[in-house]
């Protein structure tokens, strides 16, 4: 079986399913200046008012860079807040529980198949946003040498953003 990489995001057929604030903020965070920011998704946190103003400006057509005054920490906080405030988490409780179960499958190929099958059961818009977000996080963890941007740090931070507030892992 040949494993093919994901298509380039510029020609992503699900790109229209990604909300403009998410796409714009991620594009801003993919810039080299953001990749070198230590603990990009860490404190200090902006105020709720700052976050709301940025998200409103982006929704009105302003670029994320302009809306954030080139402050990458503000862009990162806005992305996290936007994702967290979605009407439902990107990974709902039933999907979360089944993904956790899939991670416990011992045989690697079966584990990957179980994860793939569970993700395929999610809505297309959720898949598109997760794809775009994970692409950013993968780039950040691979390219950034700044402290706080490693895979473990990003996983710990983003798990709380994309999963239910009180996930329960099945026993």
pLDDT tens across 92-151, in order? 889 999 999 999 999 999 999 999 999 999 988 899 899 899 989 998 888 888 888 889
Q: How many Å separate Cα 148 from the centre of its chain?
A: 16
**Distance (Å, whole) CA 109 – CA 79:** 33
Domain ranges of the chain: 20-85+123-162
pTM of the prediction? 0.83
Secondary structure of the chain in HEC code, one letter for each residue: CCCCCCCCHHHCCCHHHCCHHHHHHHHHHCCHHHHCCCCCCCCCCCCHHHHHHHHHHHHCCCCHHHHCCCCHHHHHHHHHHHHHCCCCCCCCHHHHHHHHHHHCCCCHHHHHHHHHHHHHCCCHHHHHHHHHHHHHHHHHHHHCCCCCCCHHHHHHHHHHHHCCCCCCCCC
pLDDT band at 31 (very low <50, low <70, confident <90, very high): confident
Percentage of the residues of the chain whose pLDDT score is greater than 70: 87
Least confident of 49-53, 149-153, 160-164: 160-164
**Distance (Å, whole) CA 1 – CA 58:** 42
Residue that the structure tokens 């993904």 belong to? 99
Q: Answer yes or no: is pLDDT of 169 > 60.
A: no
| Residue 144: predicted pLDDT | 84
| Residue 53: predicted pLDDT | 96
Q: Which residue has the higher pLDDT, 17 or 13?
A: 17
């Amino acid at each position: 079986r040949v494993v093919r990489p994901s298509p380039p995001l510029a020609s992503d057929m699900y790109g229209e399913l990604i909300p403009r604030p998410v796409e714009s903020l991620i594009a801003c965070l993919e810039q080299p200046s953001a990749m070198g920011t230590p603990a990009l998704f860490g404190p200090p946190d902006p105020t709720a008012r700052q976050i709301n103003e940025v998200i409103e400006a982006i929704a009105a057509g302003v670029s994320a860079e302009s809306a954030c005054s080139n402050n990458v920490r503000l862009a990162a906080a806005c992305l996290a807040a936007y994702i967290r405030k979605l009407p439902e988490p990107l990974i709902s409780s039933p999907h979360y529980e089944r993904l956790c179960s899939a991670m416990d499958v011992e045989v690697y190929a079966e584990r990957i198949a179980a994860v793939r099958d569970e993700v395929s059961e999610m809505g297309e818009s959720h898949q598109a946003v997760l794809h775009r977000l994970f692409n950013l996080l993968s780039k950040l963890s691979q390219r950034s040498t700044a402290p706080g941007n490693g895979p473990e740090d990003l996983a710990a931070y983003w798990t709380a953003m994309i999963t239910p507030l009180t996930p329960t892992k099945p026993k």
